[in-house]
């Protein structure tokens, strides 16, 4: 085997992540390249058999470390499918998407997409990918930059003549996600073990996910609120948001009142910044 550091690292990583285990991976490596040297050339003070055993123990520890990470990142999915199925999911997922990032936070970034075609889970639980999307989004929002949100006092200090020119934007730690299943109905039963897990049926579902200080929140977005929140995330001015209310109201005063109520609600949720 090559003694270069890069080649040694590549070989060791390939062996410890091999689906069939280290011993089988060594056999396959030698079958493809008969000139491959013994494994103990990589591991000091060991026979080839002992070297393989040591490396297999390392491979096992590597897998269980990643399993622990995914169990923590996808607690709802774990509660839904159970330990055994989740462990097999992890093995199959890591074969399809081996970790390539130096950060363990990125290990599960493809789980939701993987689940869309993973028959052992998606057949009994067709909403599993959406549940994973919600869990992943919550983790990503937690890691986003902090910002000081607007308060009601900040709004009160804005001169009336300035309102027409104002543009608000959401805090960095906020996202809107569109799902095919109302998986928010499963959150408390799965995460907090509160009551029975309800049966759900497909329904277009928009969810707001955001962080307030060090806690992540999520909630459903109503069909009425969706277009205004999408405007907010797209950088629309307050005047444009008011116009969207005016288009749905018979009276301009009622539209202005509803716009003010929406703004007050978003401020109360610590969701807004001035652009």
Query: What is the topology classification, in CATH, of domain 144-274?
Result: Outer Surface Protein A; domain 3 (3.90.930)
Element containing residue 217 per DSSP (H, E): strand 215-220
Q: Which residue has the higher pLDDT, 15 or 134?
A: 134
Kindly indicate the confidence band of residue 24, based on its pLDDT and cuts at 50, 70 and 90. Answer: confident
Question: Cβ distance 3 to 44 under 8 Å?
Answer: no
* 3-state class (DSSP) for residue 250: coil
Residues 275, 263: Cα–Cα separation, whole Å: 15
Residues 174, 178: Cα–Cα separation, whole Å: 14
**Residue spans in the chain of domains classed CATH 3.90.930.50:** 144-274
Tokens of 247: 């288009």
- What pLDDT is stored for residue 58 in this prediction? 85
Residues 17, 22: Cα–Cα separation, whole Å: 8
Which residue, 137, 120, 109, is CA-closest to 84?
120
What mean pLDDT is predicted for residues 74-79? 98
- What pLDDT is stored for residue 247 in this prediction? 65
Q: Which residue has the higher pLDDT, 39 or 246?
A: 246
Kindly indicate the confidence band of residue 32, based on its pLDDT and cuts at 50, 70 and 90. Answer: low
User: pTM to 2 decimals?
Assistant: 0.88
- What pLDDT is stored for residue 1 in this prediction? 46
């Amino acid at each position: 085997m090559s003694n270069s550091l890069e080649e040694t690292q590549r070989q060791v990583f390939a062996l410890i992540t091999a689906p069939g285990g280290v011993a089988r991976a060594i056999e396959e490596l030698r079958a493809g390249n008969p000139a491959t040297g013994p494994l103990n050339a990589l591991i000091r003070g060991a026979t080839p058999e002992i070297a393989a055993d040591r490396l297999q123990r390392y491979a096992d520890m590597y897998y269980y470390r990643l399993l622990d990470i995914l169990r923590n990142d996808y607690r709802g999915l774990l509660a839904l499918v159970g330990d055994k199925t989740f462990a097999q999911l992890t093995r199959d997922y890591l074969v399809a998407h081996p970790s390539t990032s130096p950060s363990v936070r990125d290990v599960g970034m493809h789980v939701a997409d993987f689940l869309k075609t993973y028959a052992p889970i998606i057949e009994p639980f067709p909403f599993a990918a959406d549940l994973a999307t919600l869990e992943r989004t919550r983790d990503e929002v937690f890691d986003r930059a902090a910002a000081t949100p607007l308060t009601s006092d900040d709004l009160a200090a804005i001169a009336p003549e300035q309102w027409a020119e104002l543009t608000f934007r959401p805090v960095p730690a906020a996202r809107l996600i569109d799902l095919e299943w109302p998986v928010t109905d499963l959150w408390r039963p799965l995460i907090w073990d509160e009551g029975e897990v309800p049966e759900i049926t497909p329904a277009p579902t928009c969810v707001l996910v955001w962080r307030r200080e060090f806690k992540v929140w999520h909630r459903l977005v109503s069909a009425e609120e969706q277009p205004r929140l999408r405007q907010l995330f797209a950088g629309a001015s307050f005047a444009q948001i008011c116009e969207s209310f005016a288009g749905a109201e018979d009276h301009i005063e009622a539209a202005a009142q509803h716009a003010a109520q929406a703004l007050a609600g978003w401020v109360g949720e610590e969701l807004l910044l001035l652009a």
